[in-house]
Chains A and B, each alone.
Chain A
């Protein structure tokens, strides 16, 4: 649905070294009427159907989950990513992301929904053959069959390829016999179909479509979890499970291709969910602090409350901006595919994999923004936030898992610089050339003075942040070469810089686009968020870069590099206090996150 014609396709990871015009990025202000209607339908569905029974769901009365998935199916909320040929709607990724965002307000049920439409069904959408798609996708759209995804094992979490589950072709050649245990499987209490990874002959990592009713398939007891209690989590037990040969998904020994692609999707969707959850938690905090009176005034009227609310909203704004920018990239790429290519799931997976770096950033930033928001939201509720009658208590517990699943944030951080370097080595990104020309540039660089127009300073901050990123990555690569992989502390410094660059730039581009379209006055709140976020991010970047340089360069050279860093971080800081107060006043007026 998004307009993609005439757009330049952006390369994954290019944000670190290239600039892009604001008109080239998708922003939430670009949602079409259909997007908004889809979002609203999802919101209403969650409000009217899910939330009234949330206590039952939290209490593991999962017959409600099944019923709710079916009613979501009736509204079409399960078919966005499924092509029309298989009874789905084949919508753009922005539509699908909006469903995920709005669904996240449903807490653990959003995990049920996400596992079904995302990691459960997408492997078949993207990698299934025609027969598999015909058989499994239509019942997924209606939730006649419910899907789950089984990758993790007791002994293999982050190291997914170390799975021990085995598959062996039977003598008749009709069935693979699977043996093993898959742990923490979402939806396993009521799922009908599992996408399971196993090693054929203990060697070839391969995906299978396994139905609950096959002989040898069973599930363990319901896990007792810290949060997302509204979702079912059990162990999938495979004891000589008989899986028909035609249920091998993709190719023998190529299961990792499916697994990694599904992880990319799981990651960006998790970021989207973080945005929805953050909006809800922030709204709870703003509403509560406006109602709660202490010292004869609302606690929202205190400046420290305003500081917290405005900081959170600025972070949320940057996160929302970077996530929809990323999803926009997917649609740009798919929009330029031929009809034939669009039918090829592998091509779609490739289009998303191009942005593996951005997917990881979405995951990390989305989950950490959410964690920050729910943490402060509980704090702003005071003792009441610790009580289960308050929704924020559940939001706090539900949030925590996001930093762990779909690849821990640590793994995802390590992936970011790793993928950058891989792309550089393959010649996909001119990282090294840019790093070299930067070194020459730094020697004669003069600080740039910002003009008077809105966001002038932030543009310089983003420009310099990119240079710092290149400088840090370049120095680390120079010093450690192929051994950089072992320098995990430095890698995480670099990942943190990349996260902030992508976030700063996305907030800036969104605000620039809004100022161009609606003028400065109407875009005031967006500009405030951008000013606050960019300056605070710049302070973090400076610290991270300093650590990289100290670890990577020695002696005179170190002094020179640190002085270059100082030049790049020299700017006249804004007093953020009045800016945050102003932003908070608008939030308190709206009683929710507003831009």
Chain B
């Protein structure tokens, strides 16, 4: 089976975010594979181990993203592809990312593409479904279980806490939700082997795309941090008065009623 896992390099979940000059400061930050994409890589490896075939991990980004690809290779993926847009593009949105990925994948005869349900930075959850649309294949999002039998897949999908079972025809794209699996951490032998596994680096040119083809359609208006949590306030006085004051505050200050 020809399996692709789509991954994105994102901030470590433990990083503190700070904004400088309207940009998220990346200086000194630790980066990881987007946790949802980690489920995708893990699932891809499991499917391969059960049904045979090959797992390719694919990412778009700068050379820095090689580290995340190496990590996926160390987990057990067979090959990696980095589409390096560092020199060509300043900005990339969901439209651009999915265009690039679909363009790369269109002649690869992928049987199964697994992406994360959402990236923890942008949080749009669009890239997976858009790629499937562009490739004109089936897709199921936010899956928590995947079984494959021949060219049929049985997928359990998380629907706001409930689950829905879907049968789908391959080729198929699925996006991984938390609970799909428990991603392994790379073993030492895996880490040693990863050094020798193929990692192909491409630029837009190599997949016959121009900068114009992926020009951003989304304009970022502002970047700001959530307001800092204010200290709580303890009301005093008669219970009656306290209730009145509380209602006042909820209505006039917090404006929630």
Which A residues fall within an 8 A CB radius of B?
33-34, 37-38, 40-41, 44-45, 74-77, 79-80, 89, 91, 522, 589-590
Say yes or no: B188 contacts A38, CB within 8 Å.
yes
A102 to chain B, nearest CB (A): 12
Q: A45 and B185 in contact (CB under 8 A), knowing A33-B67, A37-B70, A589-B16? A: yes
Query: Residue B146 at the A interface, CB < 8 A?
Result: no
Say yes or no: A37 contacts B16, CB within 8 Å.
no
A369 to chain B, nearest CB (A): 24
Query: Residue B74 at the A interface, CB < 8 A?
Result: yes
Other-chain residue from B28, B70, B187, B195 in contact with A75 (beta carbon distance below 8 A): B187
For residue B189, which residues in chain A have a CB less than 8 angstroms away from its CB? 76, 89
Say yes or no: B188 contacts A89, CB within 8 Å.
yes
13 A-B residue pairs with Cβ-Cβ distance under 8 Å, sorted by A, are A34-B192, A37-B70, A37-B191, A41-B187, A75-B188, A76-B188, A76-B191, A77-B188, A79-B188, A80-B188, A89-B189, A91-B192, A522-B28
Say yes or no: B188 contacts A40, CB within 8 Å.
no
Q: Which residue among A40, A77, A522 has the maximum number of chain B CB atoms within 10 Å of its CB?
A: A40
For residue B190, which residues in chain A have a CB less than 8 angstroms away from its CB? 76
User: Could you tell me the distance between the alpha carbons of A91 and B192 in the complex, rounded to whole angstroms?
Assistant: 9
Chain A residue, CB-CB nearest to B27: A522
A54 to chain B, nearest CB (A): 19
Query: Residue B125 at the A interface, CB < 8 A?
Result: no
Q: Which residue among B16, B28, B70, B191 has the maximum number of chain A CB atoms within 10 Å of its CB?
A: B191
Say yes or no: B74 contacts A37, CB within 8 Å.
yes
Say yes or no: A34 contacts B187, CB within 8 Å.
no
B156 to chain A, nearest CB (A): 24
In the complex, given contacts A37-B71, A75-B185, A76-B188, what are 10 additional A-B residue pairs having Cβ atoms less than 8 angstroms apart?
Answer: A34-B195, A40-B185, A41-B186, A41-B188, A45-B185, A74-B187, A76-B187, A89-B192, A522-B28, A590-B16
Q: A41 and B16 in contact (CB under 8 A), knowing A34-B195, A89-B192? A: no
A47 to chain B, nearest CB (A): 10
Q: How large is the interface on B (under 10, 10 to 19, 20 to 34, 35 or more residues)?
A: 10 to 19
User: Could you tell me the distance between the alpha carbons of A102 and B5 in the complex, rounded to whole angstroms?
Assistant: 30
* B58-109 CB contacts (< 8 Å) to partner A: 67, 70-71, 74
For residue B187, which residues in chain A have a CB less than 8 angstroms away from its CB? 41, 74-76
Chain A residue, CB-CB nearest to B184: A75
User: Could you tell me the distance between the alpha carbons of A590 and B192 in the complex, rounded to whole angstroms?
Assistant: 31
For residue B70, which residues in chain A have a CB less than 8 angstroms away from its CB? 33, 37
**Which 6 pairs, one residue from A and one from B, show the smallest C-beta to C-beta distance?**
A76-B188, A44-B185, A75-B187, A76-B187, A41-B185, A37-B191
User: Could you tell me the distance between the alpha carbons of A41 and B27 in the complex, rounded to whole angstroms?
Assistant: 24
B54 to chain A, nearest CB (A): 22
User: Could you tell me the distance between the alpha carbons of A323 and B71 in the complex, rounded to whole angstroms?
Assistant: 27
User: Could you tell me the distance between the alpha carbons of A331 and B246 in the complex, rounded to whole angstroms?
Assistant: 68
Say yes or no: A91 contacts B188, CB within 8 Å.
yes
User: Could you tell me the distance between the alpha carbons of A522 and B194 in the complex, rounded to whole angstroms?
Assistant: 31
For residue B186, which residues in chain A have a CB less than 8 angstroms away from its CB? 37, 41
Chain B residue, CB-CB nearest to A589: B16
For residue B16, which residues in chain A have a CB less than 8 angstroms away from its CB? 589-590
For residue A80, which residues in chain B have a CB less than 8 angstroms away from its CB? 188
Q: Which residue among A33, A37, A38, A77 has the maximum number of chain B CB atoms within 10 Å of its CB?
A: A37
Chain B residue, CB-CB nearest to A34: B191
Q: Which residue among B16, B67, B188, B195 has the maximum number of chain A CB atoms within 10 Å of its CB?
A: B188
For residue B27, which residues in chain A have a CB less than 8 angstroms away from its CB? 522
User: Could you tell me the distance between the alpha carbons of A430 and B186 in the complex, rounded to whole angstroms?
Assistant: 48
For residue B71, which residues in chain A have a CB less than 8 angstroms away from its CB? 37
